[in-house]
Structure 1
Amino acid sequence: MSLRRALHFVFKVGDRNKTATFYRDVLGMKVLRHEEFEEGCKATCNGPYDGKWSKTMVGFGPEDNHFVSELTYNYGVGEYHLGNDFLGITLQSSQAVSNARRLGWPLLEAGQGVYLAEAPGGYSFYLVDEEQPQTDPIQKVSLAVSDLQRSTHYWSVLLGMQILERDAERKSVLLGFGDGQCKLELRDIGGPVDHGTAFGRIAFSCPRTQLPDIEAIMKKENQTIITPLVSLDTPGKATVEVVILADPDGHEICFVADEAFRQLSAVDPDGNALLDAAIAADKSDEWFARRNKPKASA
């Protein structure tokens, strides 16, 4: 399974302006590409919505060799209810810690040399106060599970991730598809996992030929397939094939064909300008304010 790689985590955001400040100015990430869509994604990439939305990929480097964040914005939705499913992303960057202090972004001590910073929407980022590596600074994504043994079997046996560490005290397991990649931490919270309305999605790539096999094993094991193998079009870019799954706790998982995704995910030098232009052109806040209405709460 070494040909599989971790790609990104999808966050639903209600305020692109504040969100962009956090990722660009606090974390120090770059806008890799930005895309606007007039209608909902047929693989529910933007959640259960049919209207206009945008997707912004941000990270410390190209998606070919960095784990990045996908920021999904649904026009007209101002906030989402955060559940207990997403436990945080851990990254190593003393520069991010310095940026947060300089900008007055709240930091909480979360351990020796580790600080917690919340992105708009309440998403947790754990900043390790050490020099940012030349490779990908993103170390791991942490997700909550209700039954660690069951989830470990799903991710390791059915999806082929390697078990790297077990921590009985933390009731957690660390998994990965290969060295130098972002890892996945599953942590048993001892109760039900609530996804709220902000539920995210973690994405991985694999060779195109493996997608039918992934779908087949999930059918055989009576696991949840949210979206059977489907092709997704992005205007002017490569068409990619994906399978969308859900693990035993309902965490959404996207597997995408690597060959086409590498074409689709090429860094767009205009991405930053496109995001800024979209934010400036978005008058939805003003529209709701004129009518004395709040933006919708998902």
Structure 2
Amino acid sequence: MSASLPFGLYPHTVGEWHIGYFRFAPKVTYDGVCVARDSKGSFGPPLKNLAAAPLNHNTIDASEQSVCLTTDFPNTAPRVTSLSRAVGGGATEQVLGYYRAPELRKAHRRQMGSRRALHFVFKVGDRAQTARFYREVLGMRVLRHEEFEEGCKATCNGPYDGKWSKTMVGYGPEDHHFVAELTYNYGVGSYRLGNDFLGLTLVSRQAVNNAKKLEWPLKEISGGVYLAEAPGGYKFYLEDRESSKPDPVLKVTLAVSNLPKSVAFWSKLLGMKIYQEDKPQQRVLLGYAEDQCKLELHGIGQTVDHGTAFGRIAFSCPKEQLLDIETLMKKENQKILTPFVSLDTPGKATVQVVILADPDGHEICFVGDEGFRELSKVDPNGEKLLDEAMAADRSNEWFAKHNITKASA
């Protein structure tokens, strides 16, 4: 006689899928790769190639137990071909359906909900004009500014070893705002744009008014939506209305060559929720929370070219998730650009990061939330530090004096 269980399968942590709580005799047979879990939460050894492999009740709690099928996809149900329990005399009883304890579903939601969209990294060649655009046109402020004498271990400034700076600008702290990271390499004057970054969209009537007042080039794309370009050619879409949310930054749009493949990567492997799908326009909007900046993927039907201006999108997560993310990427043969590493900022907090690449090579940084919250505190001297650094930067004069053109990357 079949014992039917409630349907509905939800992820708990990466690699674990529980297939129902039930009582059973000492021997259970099923197909797949699985582990046994007792009511105390401990795990037995993995059992592989299970055409008819036993679970011994001496190794797990014999009263209330679950069977767990492992998978590396946090949002995709594994395929189960059979699940049965021994009922005596060599006979077996089929167990039907999937069951998920409500508290485990809540645990997964807490895990994904603890991830935050932080910033997008832009390489800038003209630091002074770039600062003017973000400050005077967009109306952002400098949150912090840092100078470095050598390249970053996680290539935050790109594949360059020399002196560089990092300036964080935004409408508020990264604890609850999506901001821009501006990286400036002292020896590089310009970068080649590709077709990878398609724009950042924000809601700000003030930004539109600022651009008009300063005679910054604006192009109306549709009713109340204007296109402005930052120095270097980066596109910003400005919605001419008041924002109803504390953070006016709505989304970052990236080009992808194969939309279904990219959506699977971001949603199934990285755990993002799909908020909107526009199949005719080949657009999908994803994110970790309703009140965060979203990631929009736009299928362009051709190879994505990152140029030399390629950026990086950053997210935070609890530090203990970093190695889990790295392990999952290895299992799925996905690209890891920088394995788990600690990064030091002089006089500030040390953070841990893992840098990935999606199927089209878009760089993705996951940083440990605990250290990053300390590192990302707003520096009240940020504006002053940036101004002093720009005033002290004589690189343009040096290149002109020696009749040398500043390098184009």
Q: For the superposition of Structure 1 and Structure 2, which TM-score range results when normalised by the shorter chain?
A: over 0.9
Residue of structure 2 in register with 1:20 after alignment = 131
Deviation at 1:43, TM superposition (A): 0.5
Secondary structure at 2:320 match in 1: helix
Does residue 59 of the first structure (1) align with residue 170 of the second (2)? yes
Does residue 98 of the first structure (1) align with residue 209 of the second (2)? yes
* Separation (CA, whole Å) in 2 of partners of 1:235 and 1:17: 24
Q: What letter is aligned with 1:177?
A: Y
CA deviations 1:113-143 (Å, max 9, x no partner) are 1000000000000000001345100000000
Does residue 233 of the first structure (1) align with residue 344 of the second (2)? yes
**1:194-273 alignment runs, 5 A limit:** 194-273=305-384
Q: What letter is aligned with 2:385?
A: L
Residue of structure 2 in register with 1:9 after alignment = 120
Deviation at 1:22, TM superposition (A): 0.2
Secondary structure at 1:61 match in 2: coil
* Rg comparison, structure with higher value: 2
CA deviations 1:171-215 (Å, max 9, x no partner) are 010000001100000000110000000000000000001001100
> Which of 376, 381, 386 lines up with 1:275 in the alignment?
386
The percent of aligned pairs where both chains have the same amino acid is 73
Residue of structure 2 in register with 1:137 after alignment = 248
Does residue 181 of the first structure (1) align with residue 295 of the second (2)? no
Q: What letter is aligned with 1:101?
A: K
Residue of structure 2 in register with 1:41 after alignment = 152
> Which of 56, 63, 87 lines up with 2:198 in the alignment?
87
Secondary structure at 1:31 match in 2: strand
Secondary structure at 1:73 match in 2: strand
Question: Are the aligned partners of 1:95 and 1:132 in contact in 2 as well (CA < 8 Å)?
Answer: no
Residue of structure 2 in register with 1:75 after alignment = 186
Structure 1 or 2: more helix by fraction: 1
Residue of structure 1 in register with 2:237 after alignment = 126
Deviation at 1:168, TM superposition (A): 1.1
Q: TM-score, normalised by structure 2?
A: 0.72
CA deviations 1:19-62 (Å, max 9, x no partner) are 00000000000000000000000000100000000000000001
* Separation (CA, whole Å) in 1 of partners of 2:218 and 2:196: 22
Unaligned 5+ residue runs, structure 2?
A: 1-111
Indicate the structure whose relative CO is greater, using CA pairs within 8 Å and at least 6 residues apart.
1
* Separation (CA, whole Å) in 2 of partners of 1:8 and 1:153: 22
Deviation at 1:294, TM superposition (A): 1.0
Does residue 30 of the first structure (1) align with residue 149 of the second (2)? no
CA deviations 1:42-101 (Å, max 9, x no partner) are 000100000000000000001110000000000010000000000000000000000000
* Separation (CA, whole Å) in 2 of partners of 1:180 and 1:238: 27
Q: What letter is aligned with 1:227?
A: T
* Separation (CA, whole Å) in 1 of partners of 2:267 and 2:122: 24
* Separation (CA, whole Å) in 2 of partners of 1:151 and 1:106: 33
Q: CA RMSD in A?
A: 0.6
Note closer, same or farther for the CA distance 1:235–1:210 as it changes in structure 2 (3 Å cut): same
* Separation (CA, whole Å) in 2 of partners of 1:37 and 1:157: 37
Question: Are the aligned partners of 1:4 and 1:204 in contact in 2 as well (CA < 8 Å)?
Answer: yes
